Structure 1
Amino acid sequence: MAATQQRPQFVHVESYKRERGDTHAASSIIGEALRIPGHCPHVEDAKPPEVHPVDPPVESPHEFRDWLYSTMAKCREANGAYLRRSAVALLTVIASMPREIATPEKVSQLRDLTVGWIYDFFGEKARVPYAITHDDESHPHVHVWVIPAKEETDNERWPLGSIFRGRKRDLYELQDSFYELVGHPLGMTRKGEQPQGIRLTRRQAIALRRNPKLAQETELYQAGFKAGVIQALYAQSIAPERHPTDVAKDFVPERMADHLGRAITRRERPKGRDFGR
Structure 2
Amino acid sequence: MYQFVHVESYSRSSPKTAQHKNSKSGKSSSKSGGHCVKYIVDEATRADGAHPHVDAPAPPILHYGKPLDQLEVTCEAWASTMTDSRGHKLRKDALCLAAGIVSAPHDIEPEAWEKFRSDSIAWLKEKYGDALESVVEHTDESHPHLHFYVVPKPGQRFESIHQGRAAAAAEKGQGGKKGEQNQAYKAAMREFQDEFFDRVGIQHGFTRIGPGKRRLTREEWKLEQIQAAAAAKTIAVAEATVTTSKVESQAIKQQAVNDAKVFADKTLKKADQILKAAESKGFASGFNKGIESVEQLPWWKKVGLYLSGAVRERDKLKVELETTKGDSETWKEKAKRYFGINKQLDLELKEVKPKLLSAEEELSVTRHKAKQAALLREENDQLTRQLGDAEHKIGGLQGRVEALKSMVDEQESAQKAQPVARRYEHEEGLSR
Q: With the length of structure 1 as denominator, give the TM-score of the two structures.
A: 0.59
**Equivalent residue for 2:148?**
144
Q: Using a 3 Å threshold, how does the CA distance of structure 1 residues 85 and 129 change in structure 2: closer, same or farther?
A: same
Number of aligned residues: 198
CA deviation string 1:55-76 (max 9, x = no partner): x4xxx43232233224423433
The yes-or-no answer on 1:129 pairing with 2:123 is no
1:160 and 1:11, CA in 2 relative to 1: closer, same or farther beyond 3 A?
Answer: same
Match of 1:72 among 79, 83, 87: 79
In the alignment, which residue of structure 1 is the partner of 2:233? none
Once superposed, which parts of structure 1, at least 4 consecutive aligned residues long, lie more than 6 Å away?
252-255
**How big is the shift at 1:239?**
3.8
- How far residue 25 of structure 1 moved from its aligned partner, in angstroms, is 0.9
Q: Taking structure 1 as reference, are residues 166 and 71 closer, same or farther at Cα in structure 2, changes over 3 Å only?
A: closer
Unaligned runs of 5+ in 1: 1-6, 198-235, 256-277
Which deviates further from its counterpart, 39-48 or 68-77?
68-77
Which of 94, 108, 111 is matched with 2:101 structurally?
94
User: How far 1:179 moved relative to its partner?
Assistant: 1.2
In the alignment, the residues of structure 1 paired with residue 135 and residue 116 of structure 2 have an alpha-carbon distance, to the nearest angstrom, of: 10
In structure 2, relative to structure 1, the CA distance for the partners of 1:74 and 1:193 (3 Å cut) is closer
Asked whether the equivalents of residues 10 and 97 of structure 2 are also in contact (C-alpha less than 8 Å), the reply is yes
**Greater fraction of residues in helix:** 2
> How many percent identity over aligned positions?
28
In structure 2, the partner of 1:12 is 6
Alignment match, 1:226? none
CA shift in 2, pair 1:253/1:81, >3 Å: farther
Residues 57 and 140 in structure 2, CA contact (< 8 A), matched pair in contact too: yes
Give how far 1:89 is off. Answer: 1.6
Quick check: 2:62–2:137 contact (8 Å CA) kept in 1? yes
* Structure 1 SS opposite 2:200: helix
Aligned twin of 1:184: 202
The structure having more radius of gyration, on CA atoms, is 2
Match of 2:204, SS state, is: coil
How big is each residue's C-alpha offset from its partner over 1:100-140, in whole Å with a ceiling of 9 and x where there is no partner? 2241x43343333333334555x66x611111101211211
- Equivalent runs, 1:172-211 vs 2, <5 Å: 172-195=190-213
CA distance in structure 2 between the partners assigned to 1:73 and 1:252 by the alignment: 54
* Counterparts of 2:3 and 2:272, CA distance in 1: 21
Name the CA shift for 1:45/1:20 in 2 (closer, same or farther; >3 Å).
same
Q: Distance in 2 between matches of 1:251 and 1:37?
A: 43
Q: Which residue of 1 aligns with 2:343?
A: none
Using the alignment, how far apart are the partners of 1:101 and 1:239 within structure 2? Answer: 31
Query: Which range moved further: 239-248 or 163-172?
Result: 239-248
Which TM-score applies when normalising by structure 2?
0.40
* Correspondence 1:84 to 2:114: no
Distance 1:253 1:84, change over 3 A: farther
Do the aligned partners of residues 84 and 185 (structure 1) sit closer, same or farther apart at CA in structure 2, a change above 3 Å counting?
A: same
Q: Deviations over 1:166-200 (max 9, x none)?
A: 25432322222211111112222223344489xxx
Inter-CA distance 253–66: structure 2 relative to 1 (3 Å threshold): farther
| C-alpha contact 1:133 1:141 (8 A) present in aligned 2 | yes
Is the contact between residue 151 and residue 161 of structure 2 (CA under 8 Å) also seen in structure 1? no
Secondary structure of 2:56's match?
coil
Q: Which residue of 1 aligns with 2:116?
A: 110
Q: CA deviation at 1:29?
A: 1.0
In the TM superposition, what whole-angstrom CA distance separates every residue of 1:227-253 from its partner, at most 9, and x where no partner exists? xxxxxxxxx999488249769434689
AA at the equivalent of 2:115: Q
The structure-2 alpha-carbon separation of the partners of 1:120 and 1:38, relative to structure 1 and needing over 3 Å to count, comes to same
Residue 157 of structure 2: aligned partner: 159
